[in-house]
Amino acid sequence: MRNIILCIGIFVVLYCKAQQNPLPLNTWMENIPQGAYVKDLNNELSPYIGTYKATYQGNEITLYITKEEGRPTKRMNKNFFRDVLSIRYIVKSSSGIILQNTQNMNLDNQSYFNILSIGTMPPLEQVALGYDGTNCGIGWGQINITKISATQISWEYLPNSLIIDSATCPPSTDKTVYLPVTKDLIFTKQ
């Protein structure tokens, strides 16, 4: 019984220590201990929160950018918590047909469609985000958003892979990447 109480006590102390001493957003991975909290201490993520729209090649893209605090994260065999920007989106054709919609998806339990911030560059007013890709991971890569003004952001999408074969993705799967693969696309806050 004494060992159980001792273990619980150690856990509580370590947990409280991690919660009491948050680390800044851009802390290097090697400096993040197990169970740490990488927090938006300087409010770097808040200026990007909102609903934004743009049109690209006839499609209307709506981005829903929110801030998630204390999101559980696992990287390089480390489990920790961090504040992130999360982007969900709707892509509609010029005729109003919804081509892709992640707005109401439960993205916590799957490895595709997630768009989460991975770092900020405050002097450039830019946030880098990792994108898990669409079905089968097609289009995974990096998205950079740059704050232009209080109502506009610039979008750059750098996919690492747009090609996949039927051996790794079922033939009937929609393999289209609907997000705009471009640089300097301007989104306006709604």
pLDDT of the chain along its 190 residues, tens only?
Answer: 555 554 454 454 445 544 558 999 999 999 999 999 999 999 999 999 999 999 999 999 999 999 999 999 988 899 999 999 999 999 999 999 999 999 988 876 667 899 999 999 999 999 999 999 998 888 999 999 999 999 999 999 999 876 676 777 888 888 899 999 999 999 999 9
The DSSP code for 177 is: -
Sign of the dihedral defined by the CA atoms of residues 152, 144, 114, 136, in that order: positive
pTM: 0.84
Burial call 66-93: b when 16+ CB within 10 Å, e when fewer: ebeeebeeeeeeeebbbbbbbbbbbbbe
How is the chain split into domains, by residue range? 2-189
